[in-house]
Amino acid sequence: MRILYQLLVILFLMLQGAAGQPFIPGDPCEAQNGRCFPGICRRPYYWVGTCQNGFSCCRRYVET
C-alpha cells in the first residue's frame, strides 16, 4: 500500500511537469529577487517581467 502512494506522488509530479506548472507555487517575481511596482521600473531597478497582479517585476541593479 505504501508503494501505491509513492507511485501516485510520482505520477502527480510527472503530470505537473508535463503541464508546465511548477510543483511549488510561489511568486515568480520573488523567485528572481524582484519586487512588484505599479507602472514602469525606475532607477535603480530594471524590468525583469510581469507580476501576477499585472504590475511590473523590477530587480535592483547591482554593480560588481
Element (H, E) at 13: helix 2-19
Q: How many other CB atoms sit within 10 Å of the CB of residue 36?
A: 17
pLDDT at 56: 93
Fill in the amino acid letter for 14.
M
Q: No. of H helices and E strands in the chain? A: 2, 3
Right CATH for 3-60 from 3.40.50.300, 3.10.360.10, 2.40.110.10, 2.40.30.10 = 3.10.360.10
Q: What is the DSSP letter of 44?
A: T
User: In the beta sheet, which residues pair with residue 59?
Assistant: 46
Half-sphere exposure for 23 (CA within 13 Å, toward CB): 9
pLDDT at 5: 79
What residue segments make up the domains of the chain, in order of their start?
3-60
**24-54 confidence digits (pLDDT tens):** 556 778 888 889 999 999 999 999 988 888 8
Q: Is residue 16 over pLDDT 80?
A: no
